[in-house]
Amino acid sequence: MIPVQGYQGQKVAVLGLGRSGLATARALKAGGAEPLLWDDSPEARAKAEAEGFACTDLMRHGAFDGVACLVTSPGIPHLYPAPNKVIARALELGVPVDNDIGLFFRSFATKDWDGFDAMPKVVCITGSNGKSTTTALIHHILKVAGRPTQMAGNIGRGVLDIDPASDGEVVVLELSSYQTDLARALTPDVAVFTNLSPDHLDRHNGMGGYFAAKRRLFAEGGPDRCIVGVDELEGRFMAGQLAQGPQDDRVIRISSGSKLEGFGWSVFARKGFLAEWRKGKQVASIDLREVTGLPGAHNHQNACAAYAATRALGIAPKLIEGAFHSFAGLPHRSQLVGERNGVRFVNDSKATNVDAAAKALQAFPKIRWIAGGMGKDGGIAALEPHLGSVVKAYLIGFSARDFALQIGETPHEICETMERAVARAAAEAQPGEVVLLAPAAASFDQYPNFEKRGEDFTARVKAEIG
């Protein structure tokens, strides 16, 4: 646990008692603060009270009297489409609003660091797609290199739930736009921006607000090194703002598909090969084609991001290459879950938006595509240029019929359920084809989250292939 600093003897309100909320309450208490907790769920309040915490309705008169700060969970809106009523009340009263990420950055460094030989570092990863894979890959490389490391944030443990830093340790944090948008302190040593595509637009009032939330990690955090994906205009804009010029190697530009040879430091992948360039010269190269845990161009971008981050931390290219080959990948992200008679079954349930689905569809030559769920604004018409590899689509969930109208001449079947989609795709698939779950939609019509959807796909596959 990271005891929260700066609130000793003060009241701090905590709104939302999920994983991060309870971890925040414990860390505040450990740092000498008096946490006042609230959640609309009676079950969540009962769980907190069972740990000895006081629950206080933060909307009652005088609830914020003497409160130094309100800490809110990331899933609770604080601005758009409308602020939660408790947060709105805090803002009216001038009570600072923060989240666990802000508390982490103000509390991570301690006096114990004075005795360390090497200062601990924090690497933060944000972006629309690939954050989790990039975060896990950086963590894996560091472990292979023998560096002490912990992984937390939007993946794994809550940030305040990790152990205090050890000598030379590297903490790797995946941060969503919800987390970067509100944190009052953001001071990573290395910050990574993977890419940007439309997502969570209601929460950020459009693409501009969404990009601004991501950009805070760099503009306000002042990292020593910035790794920036430049395959979209927003990334190129941000890299240009952060760098003093093209030769400024504090900014490492990364790309999947474009040569980046004219910069002080760049890492890019083309035709399955990763290349590192510094000051106009190639200094390293890795063949990614046989790295089974990182299939497709989108994963090659993740590899570039992780490579750049770990090179910025002083890890040697050959060691990184070896770590790539021992990386098993993450569940629900281009995850191979079975194979029968030359047909592979791949779970990419995390492909909840059009951009992620497009990248999955480009990763394999012949695809039996399972898609659908709770469709997002704009539908999937933008996927039409990427459907050339789709032999047939098997559409499920609430948006199945809407999706059928948006995929042109692509052969398709309305299956409604995962069970039927897997059974039909498995029965029709030929050797050399891939049965791919890449929904291009949220899961909430049939599943509580994308993980449960992916687990159902995996279970159905195993039942089919034995």
pLDDT digits (tens, 9 = 90+) for 177-197: 999 999 999 999 999 999 998
Q: Distance between CA atoms of 250 and 242, rounded to whole angstroms? A: 9
10 Å CB burial of residue 111 (0-12, 13-18, 19+) is exposed
CB burial of 200-214 (b: ≥16 within 10 Å; e: otherwise) equals bbebbeeeebbbbbb
- The interaxial angle of helices 317-325 and 296-312, nearest 10 deg, is 140
Q: For 5, which DSSP code? A: P
| Residue 53 pLDDT | 95
Q: Which residue has the higher pLDDT, 336 or 228?
A: 228
130 annotated as belonging to a binding site for a ligand: yes
- Mean pLDDT computed over 370-374: 97
- Mean pLDDT computed over 217-236: 95
Q: Distance between CA atoms of 364 and 435, rounded to whole angstroms? A: 10
For tokens 């103000």, what's the residue? 106
10 Å CB burial of residue 9 (0-12, 13-18, 19+) is exposed
**CA dihedral defined by 109, 35, 213, 348, rounded to 10 degrees?**
90
Output the CA torsion sign for 273, 438, 324, 119. positive
126 annotated as belonging to a binding site for a ligand: no
- The interaxial angle of helices 354-361 and 296-312, nearest 10 deg, is 100
Looking at the DSSP bridge assignments, the partners of residue 229 are: 254
DSSP-derived 3-state class of residue 126: strand
Q: With bands split at pLDDT 50, 70 and 90, how would you rate the model's confidence at 43?
A: very high
Q: Which residue has the higher pLDDT, 140 or 199?
A: 140
Residue 19 has pLDDT above 90, yes or no: no
Most distant pair of Cα atoms in the chain: their distance: 68
DSSP-derived 3-state class of residue 230: coil
For tokens 């931390």, what's the residue? 313
- Mean pLDDT computed over 414-432: 98
Nearby residues of 392 by Cβ (< 8 Å), 6 or more positions away: 368, 369, 410, 411, 412, 413, 425, 428
Q: Any idea what the Cα angle at residue 373 is, between residues 371 and 378, rounded to 5°?
A: 85
Q: What are the structural domains of the chain?
A: 11-98 (3.40.50.720), 104-325 (3.40.1190.10), 335-465 (3.90.190.20)
Residue 323 has pLDDT above 90, yes or no: yes
Q: Which phi and psi (to 5°) does residue 90 adopt?
A: -60, -40
| Residue 412 pLDDT | 98
| pLDDT, tens digit, 9 for 90 and up, residues 195-226 | 998 888 899 999 999 999 999 999 988 899 99
- Mean pLDDT (the chain, rounded): 95
Q: Distance between CA atoms of 134 and 172, rounded to whole angstroms? A: 10
| Residue 260 pLDDT | 96
Looking at the DSSP bridge assignments, the partners of residue 13 are: 36, 70
Q: Distance between CA atoms of 291 and 28, rounded to whole angstroms? A: 43
Hey, how many other C-beta atoms are within 10 angstroms of the C-beta on 388?
Answer: 11
Q: With bands split at pLDDT 50, 70 and 90, how would you rate the model's confidence at 46?
A: very high
Q: Distance between CA atoms of 113 and 459, rounded to whole angstroms? A: 47
How far from chain centre, in Å, is Cα 298? 14
Q: Distance between CA atoms of 101 and 269, rounded to whole angstroms? A: 32
334 annotated as belonging to a binding site for a ligand: no
pTM for the model stands at 0.86
How far from chain centre, in Å, is Cα 302? 11
| Residue 296 pLDDT | 84
Cis peptide before 188 (omega within 30 of 0): no
- Mean pLDDT computed over 129-146: 96
**CA dihedral defined by 181, 184, 189, 192, rounded to 10 degrees?**
0
Q: Distance between CA atoms of 309 and 288, rounded to whole angstroms? A: 17
383, 407 Cβ separation under 8 angstroms: yes
| Residue 295 pLDDT | 86
Nearby residues of 66 by Cβ (< 8 Å), 6 or more positions away: 10, 11
347 annotated as belonging to a binding site for a ligand: no
382, 358 Cβ separation under 8 angstroms: yes
10 Å CB burial of residue 318 (0-12, 13-18, 19+) is exposed
Give first-to-last CA distance, the chain, whole Å.
Answer: 43
154 annotated as belonging to a binding site for a ligand: no
Which H helix or E strand runs over 31? Answer: none
Residues in the chain: 466
Residue 329 has pLDDT above 90, yes or no: no
